[in-house]
Amino acid sequence: MHVTLIAFLVAVVASTPVLRGSGRDLDYAAQLRRVLGNFVPPDFSVLGATLASLLETVQIAVMATLIAILMALPFSIAASRNLAPFWLVAVTRLLANLIRTIPSLVWALVAVAIVGTNPLAGVIGLAFYSLGYLAKFYSDAFESVDAKVAEGLQAMGAGRIQAFQHGLWPHAQPLVWSHSLWMLEYNIRAASIIGYVGAGGIGVQLHTYYEFGHWSRVSTVLLCLLVVVTTLDILGEKVRATILSSTK
């Protein structure tokens, strides 16, 4: 514990150079007042276009999450120590780690380079990024289940697939759906950003307003995003609680 604390303090001291800023003599408080002043009042004339972009953002997130779930299920079975041979677990876990290492924005950039600047690029980019996370979450869920139940069914004649479907899946299922829901929430937030590289969604609009210095319009977009993300958080929390209560 002490060693960890000392190591952290050393890291903090070593990180102080990043607090120096640009070195220019700026009046930070005045700058903050000026920037925030540009945001108010929000320009609601762009509300219609913003809502349409928001819808597209949610659509990108939903499709990306669905594709990621479909890819992650077999992937995570191959990455679970209690379900797959060691060599397959090692290969799939390494692959999932690699996928997670690359940020969603970079995945979106790659997708834009392949399919052009459109929402499909966003779907592809987010689907691959989510695959890395869901594969890990799902395999952790499968490994956390008491393997004795599935082994018991196998000892009584059930095949491996039957033991998985009837002995392991019912127990892991709530966790799997809970993680999937979290991924959807994450993807809606991420889909708001990937528009910066041309992968569709509200990010495209945000980027345009920012480039042209339309801060009052940026403000409208951010307010709409806030409403959507907060609503989703509350809904997600309720749905997740319902799902997880079925395990008790």
Partner 1 sequence: MILNHGTTARVELRVQGLGLRRGNQWLFRDMTWSAPAGTLLAVKGPSGAGKSSLLAVLANTLASDEGHVYCPDASPGTHHRPENCRCRVGIVFQDFRLVPNGSVLHNVLCGRLGWYPWWRTLAGFPRQDRAEALDLVQRLGLRSFADRPAGGVSGGEQQRTAVARAVFQRPDILLADEPVSNLDGPSAESVMDLLAQTARDLNCVVVCALHQEDLIRRYADAILTLGSSRWQFQD
Angle at 80 between CA 78 and CA 82, to 5 degrees: 115
The reply on whether position 149 binds partner 1 by CB under 8 A is yes
The reply on whether position 74 binds partner 1 by CB under 8 A is no
167 vs 198, beta carbon nearer partner 1: 167
The reply on whether position 240 binds partner 1 by CB under 8 A is no
The reply on whether position 216 binds partner 1 by CB under 8 A is no
Q: Which stretch binds partner 1 (CB under 8 A): 134-142, 153-161, 197-205, 211-219?
A: 153-161
Question: For the chain, how big is the Rg over CA atoms in Å?
Answer: 23
Asked if 129 and 99 touch (Cβ cutoff 8 Å), the reply is yes
> Alpha-carbon distance 61 to 191, whole Å?
6
Q: Closest distance between partner 1 and the C-beta of residue 155, in Å? A: 5
The reply on whether position 35 binds partner 1 by CB under 8 A is no
Kind and range of the H or E run holding 81 = none
For residue 182, give the DSSP letter.
H
The reply on whether position 208 binds partner 1 by CB under 8 A is no
Work out which of 82, 154, 208, 216 binds partner 1, going by CB under 8 A: 154
Q: Kindly identify the residues of this chain, within the stretch 166-205, that bind partner 1 according to CB under 8 A.
A: 166-167, 170-171, 174
| Side chain identity, residue 226 | L
Kind and range of the H or E run holding 170 = helix 169-191
The reply on whether position 23 binds partner 1 by CB under 8 A is no
Work out which of 152, 234, 237, 244 binds partner 1, going by CB under 8 A: 152
The reply on whether position 144 binds partner 1 by CB under 8 A is no
199, 201, 207, 212: CA torsion to nearest 10? 120
The reply on whether position 156 binds partner 1 by CB under 8 A is yes
> Alpha-carbon distance 227 to 244, whole Å?
26
Cα 235 to chain center, whole Å? Answer: 17
For residue 16, give the DSSP letter.
G
The reply on whether position 73 binds partner 1 by CB under 8 A is no
The reply on whether position 82 binds partner 1 by CB under 8 A is no
Work out which of 153, 175, 194, 224 binds partner 1, going by CB under 8 A: 153
- Is the bond leading into 174 cis (omega within 30 degrees of zero)? no
Q: Contact positions toward partner 1, by CB under 8 A?
A: 148-149, 151-159, 161-163, 165-167, 170-171, 174, 246-247
